[in-house]
A and B are shown apart, each in its own frame.
Chain A
């Protein structure tokens, strides 16, 4: 595919397998060789973090980690707005959002259309 055209300065870690895997996880496609090259650059950029000594440092998830989470009382104060919410969907039937059939995997890369040349 397009891994052969990826940025020669990139890490070369974006194999066809990785591309397929990421596209399936993200449900977003690369769309072009440039996009793959951009990802390689993004990874190279992120690799700079290796130089930082983080021995014994705990990961920080939130700047508010030292505080107790406020819990409100478990009373229903709003809701019953199904009609309003259904209005924003393109496909509804009665009070259901209609989805296409599930449990069908995306076709594999080699079964798909090749990239349009951008």
Chain B
């Protein structure tokens, strides 16, 4: 049988040692990866590596030398994390065929814990986007497009013709990681989060999407977008699983000078909150915008009511600079991107074109061939804002606004609030054909609206799946915590998760146990005919 949550496997380890072996689990996940290939969640499947790791994990268990909670657990990693010996592309022609000679620190930590690396997941090119649609390997499809919950609702709609032409996006940019976890091909996946790239697809795929405090988890080996905002993100099917992964990843890294060296309480065991009467939840009023779908708005309101009915204090708070946040993010993001993308010149790694006339001509042609329109557009925008005549009025101005936004959060938390509760996205996942009607920058500006301020303030945040929409699709809500209070944030999230009891996705055709059911149905119909 299949264990949905990591904690379930750990429980079997405690009770009956090895009810499922690492190799069995690995093979099950590899088989699911093959069955769900149409989702396009994986760019590289590291089958041999995973099986070898599974073998080693089994040996360790036999000798009573398990490395910890993640030993033998299948995980996936977004393809903008460097993995030694395994192609790392960032879904870009610039890095197609690039094989890093080292592991990102977070990847190394997972491997040191004995996790099985199933593969590298798909994303928007260089993590720029909110749909996971703009990479060279094509878009990622949301597994919920094929769920019983969604399909049943669709049948009621007489206009649904072709079953696959209206598949839904996963959100982005960590859509591949989200699809991989949502389709049960692994227990946890690494994403990255610069403006919401882990939380957005988590909300659209019915997952827990956790963004740690900036400085808690090493960025070494995460191919950078915005150095002052990027963090590795964690995608799992439940909060406890996210806490287990965070426990493995958190901590200072001498290779990343932006990690903090404060002592951290490890492991990240989450207490079960008996009651929330001592909790104060803040609701930022500026997040109630007209573009918010009525369904998300209603769930947000119900969530606030739930906390209140269980004894928590629920306060309206103000984050006055909210309406400028996305603009500020846009300027800072493109500026840092312009700087970070400068390293791609074809000389030491990555794509190189054939021009040999001059270094400049070679660099320019390499970059034209290597980067897609979205990436080039952001580089050009960033360079514009960084021009001497614009630097003060755009870049420095945005840095000042950033401080105002960060201060807004500080003031909200200082008013006695423990955790903020907001929507994660404007609505549930939309069909791909609708998503592509607007360009990447427009979509990003719309979709990042609730998530990017958190990156500018460096705070921890998590998206929790709450309920299904009228169309049978997941809707998530976001909790935001104080800096370095990640454990407290996850504790509150865990309590909330238990209250809402979000349903498991029903992907009947894909699960082994259910293929047996389908066979029985076949034989039943045969006997009826007779």
Contacts and interface: CB of A to CB of B under 8 A. Distances in A.
Interface of A: 18, 21-31, 35, 38-39, 41-43, 45-46, 48-52, 54, 57-64, 67, 69-70, 72, 81, 84-85, 87-91, 97, 99-106
Contacts of A89: 347-349, 352
Interface string B310-349: 0000000000010010011011001000100010011111
A106 B402 CA distance: 36
B357 interface: yes
B358 A60 contact: no
24 contacts: A22-B380, A23-B364, A26-B379, A26-B383, A27-B367, A29-B376, A30-B380, A31-B376, A35-B373, A42-B384, A45-B327, A46-B330, A46-B331, A46-B394, A49-B331, A58-B403, A60-B399, A88-B99, A89-B349, A91-B352, A102-B359, A104-B361, A105-B358, A106-B361
Nearest to B331: A46
Nearest to A46: B331
A2 B345 CA distance: 27
Contacts of A104: 357-361
A48 B260 contact: no
B328 A38 contact: no
Given A22-B383, A101-B357, 14 more contacts: A27-B342, A27-B364, A28-B376, A35-B380, A63-B214, A64-B458, A70-B254, A81-B101, A85-B101, A90-B346, A90-B352, A102-B360, A106-B360, A106-B364
Interface residues of B, number: 71
Contacts, number: 177
Contacts of A81: 101
B379 A28 contact: yes
A101 to B, nearest CB: 6
Nearest to B375: A28
A56 to B, nearest CB: 9
Contacts of A30: 376, 380
Nearest to B256: A70
Nearest to B393: A50
Contacts of B377: 35, 38-39, 42
Chain B CB within 10 A, most for which of A29, A49, A58, A97? A49
Contacts of A99: 347, 359, 362
Given A63-B214, A70-B252, A104-B360, A88 B441 contact: no
Nearest to A101: B358
B348 A88 contact: yes
Contacts of B358: 100-106
Contacts of A70: 252, 254, 257, 259-261
B324 A51 contact: yes
B485 interface: no
A69 to B, nearest CB: 6
A104 B215 CA distance: 42
Contacts of A45: 327, 330, 445
Contacts of A49: 324, 327-328, 331, 394, 397-398, 401
B451 to A, nearest CB: 16
B457 interface: yes
Nearest to A81: B101
Nearest 10 CB-CB pairings of A with B? A63-B458, A59-B399, A104-B358, A60-B403, A54-B400, A88-B349, A84-B101, A90-B352, A57-B400, A26-B383
A44 to B, nearest CB: 10
B110 interface: no
Interface string B433-472: 0000001010001000000000011100000000000000
Contacts of B330: 42, 45-46
B99 A28 contact: no
Contacts of A43: 381, 384
Interface string B360-389: 111110011001010011011101110100
B506 to A, nearest CB: 41
Contacts of B331: 46, 49
